[in-house]
Amino acid sequence: MAKPEAVEILSFLEALNDEIEGAIDLFVPNAHLRMAIHLLQGHFDGKTVTATSLISASRVPYATANRRLKEMIEAGLIEQRPRTASGKSFSLHPSDVLLETWVQMSGRLRRLCEGAFGGVARNRDTKDYYFGGSYAAAHSIPPLRVLTEPLKLSGGLRVLVHGDPTFMVMDNLKRQFEQVIGSSISQRAFSIDRLREETLRNAARDTSRYDIIAVDLPWIGEFASRGILMPLDQVMDLAELDPSDFHTAGWQGAHWGGRAYGVPAQTTPELLFFRHDVFAEAGLEPPASTDALLHAARALHDPTHGKYGIAWNAARGTALGHTVLMTYADFGQPILDLPDVAGGFGTGHLAQGGYRAMIDTKAGLQVAEFLLELLKYSPPDILSMSWYERVRPYASGKVAMAYGYTLLAPYFELDDTSPACGQTSYLPHPPAPGARPVAPVGGYVMGIPANLAPERIPAAVEALKVFTSPEAQKLYVQNGSRTNPRYSVGADPEVRRTSTIFEAVDGMSWRDELQFWPRPPVPEIGGIFQICGEEFHDMLRGLTPPREALRRAQARADKLIRPNATP
């Protein structure tokens, strides 16, 4: 994993200082610089820095170091945070001024070195420097800063999340986040189905065991309606989150009945991953329609040599159910009778009820026939493939295309041995004739359980703001995440350098291709996934014909929704 530029420069300057001071005895240590380097390294590594350790790092006599430390505090470069209730012991942290100054100086130092010694980076960035790159870098998102006052939470902060790459990055960075919030963090991670089960169990308890929980976007309606999540406007000023900075679809998806029940932590659309090197070798254009997708899958399908056209979610139940709903969107129809609005379909009325399933339709028959055709150019075990299984053969080079969420991109983007590493391009779902391209938005919001003890709510709100801040989101990306809910993070120069995926997703958002209506967050959505995933699976296995599968799925969905169809 490439280190952030500001961290690389720290290591370089420390080594440079060692060389200079060791060369000639008359070269004395620069106490201010030595202490600044030690303080910043501690911040980036999540290590506690005290006055004693900072004075030791200065490499000058105690009295001199103590004076230099006071000078840095008076200059507003160092912040002190109480470590004990008595307030007599402090931990030391870089201030906003020091962090911002360091980030800007790191970029200038890198360009100075490249100007003097050359290198690959110099060739890459020279044009950017003269045509606005230096301006953009100067406005990049700064590192996380510590809270002035540590959070007061008995037993530390307790978080329940999904066991995906982004939340695992958060767990890897736990020590740094503990330093930022001034409290220990206990994080439990589950698979998607077990996460839902544990959330429901937790909601049945008198008092929540978790301060913050991760919620899959389609669950919002159910969890809000059942009082599992706390409406955030009840406990915080939403303007502090800067809602306009979130991708529109991700922010809207966190709402139910006009109220926000979570803050986007991951906005991860499902896209089409395809090997542009394989396409170029075969003389194929990137697929811009469902017909072109089938043509490419057919052309690249070579099972006798262990090569297959495409991988997708086709395992029975929830996994295939997601594919079915997203494929309906590819054919221009939502799974519910949603009204047409500019750019897609409206979901703002769903909390009022009155909706019905739209499965046994003309578009539904097209969806069924498309999936049956797609099956022909898929790996032999496709009907057992789900979330991660579909990306593994793509990463290993066995398939040329795969539908996948951006959060799964690290499986090949960060693996130098993968044939797909550096050879992958990203597209929204290719649409059927007459339909618009759609990138169905998935991901998670972080919310506060409605049954959280009142005395813990203020601290939970502060931690929620930290975890979903631009600074935290940038840190996740720099440590391997490929999800991002904020425009500002996607535009950050260092983030853009990590992957082409961020520029691609930002473009889709601006073109209104990011949409969450393909998986409308109604309370019955879990049942709809299951129904479609079972009936269409039987169809793909050849047990039922397409029209029969549609009729049965419609009947089951009508039975599921009818009791709740009106307020």
Express each pLDDT in 247-300 by its tens digit. Answer: 888 999 999 999 999 999 988 999 999 999 999 999 999 999 999 999 999 999
The arithmetic mean of pLDDT across residues 325-338, rounded, is: 97
pLDDT at residue 564, rounded to an integer: 53
The arithmetic mean of pLDDT across residues 474-494, rounded, is: 90
| Per-residue pLDDT band at 119 (split at 50, 70, 90) | low
pLDDT above 50 (res 138): no
The amino acid sitting at 189 is A
pLDDT at residue 365, rounded to an integer: 98
H, E, C per residue of 273-287: EEEHHHHHHHCCCCC
pLDDT above 80 (res 75): yes
Express each pLDDT in 209-245 by its tens digit. Answer: 999 999 999 999 999 999 999 999 999 999 999 999 9
H, E, C per residue of 461-491: HHHHHHHCCHHHHHHHHHCCCCCCCEHHHHC
Q: Which two tokens stand for residue 410?
A: 């690290």
d(CA 345, CA 512): 12
Which residues are registered as beta bridge partners of 308? Answer: 399
Express each pLDDT in 370-417 by its tens digit. Answer: 999 999 999 999 999 998 899 999 999 999 999 999 999 999 999 999
Percent of the chain predicted with pLDDT > 90? 61
pLDDT at residue 405, rounded to an integer: 93
Q: Which two tokens stand for residue 204?
A: 């049945």
Question: Which of 239, 379, 226 has its CA nearest to residue 302?
Answer: 379
Express each pLDDT in 11-50 by its tens digit. Answer: 788 888 888 877 777 778 888 988 888 888 888 777 888 8
pLDDT at residue 131, rounded to an integer: 39
pLDDT above 50 (res 516): yes
d(CA 44, CA 145): 10
d(CA 493, CA 459): 32
pLDDT at residue 143, rounded to an integer: 85
Q: Which range among 131-140, 421-430, 479-488 has the greatest average pLDDT?
A: 421-430
pLDDT top residue among 291 and 2: 291
The arithmetic mean of pLDDT across residues 500-528, rounded, is: 92
| Per-residue pLDDT band at 135 (split at 50, 70, 90) | very low
Q: Name the average pLDDT for the chain.
A: 89
Percent of the chain predicted with pLDDT > 70? 93
Block residue for tokens 């699976």: 537
pLDDT at residue 3, rounded to an integer: 53
| Per-residue pLDDT band at 139 (split at 50, 70, 90) | low
- Rg, Å, the chain Cα set: 26
* Residue 343, phi-psi category: left (phi > 0), alpha (psi -120 to 50), beta (remainder): left
pLDDT at residue 136, rounded to an integer: 42
pLDDT above 70 (res 133): no
| Per-residue pLDDT band at 548 (split at 50, 70, 90) | very high
pLDDT above 90 (res 108): no
pLDDT at residue 87, rounded to an integer: 67
Domains with residue ranges and CATH for the chain = 5-138 (1.10.10.10), 157-267+443-490 (3.40.190.10), 269-438+515-564 (3.40.190.10)
Residues in the chain: 567
- The per-residue DSSP string of 338-377 comes to PPEETTEE--TTGGG----B--SSHHHHHHHHHHHHHHTT
Q: Kindly report the number of other CB atoms within 10 A of residue 488's CB atom.
A: 19
pLDDT at residue 122, rounded to an integer: 41
Which residues are registered as beta bridge partners of 486? Answer: 246
pLDDT above 70 (res 120): no
pLDDT at residue 118, rounded to an integer: 67
Give the HSE-up count for residue 282: Cα atoms under 13 Å, Cβ half-sphere: 19
CB 215 within 8 A of CB 447: yes
d(CA 467, CA 472): 6
Kindly give the interhelix angle for 174-181 and 165-172, rounded to the nearest 10 degrees.
60
Backbone angles phi, psi at 59, to 5 degrees: 65, 25
The arithmetic mean of pLDDT across residues 315-330, rounded, is: 96
pLDDT at residue 5, rounded to an integer: 66
Is 530 strand, coil or helix? Answer: helix
pLDDT above 70 (res 567): no
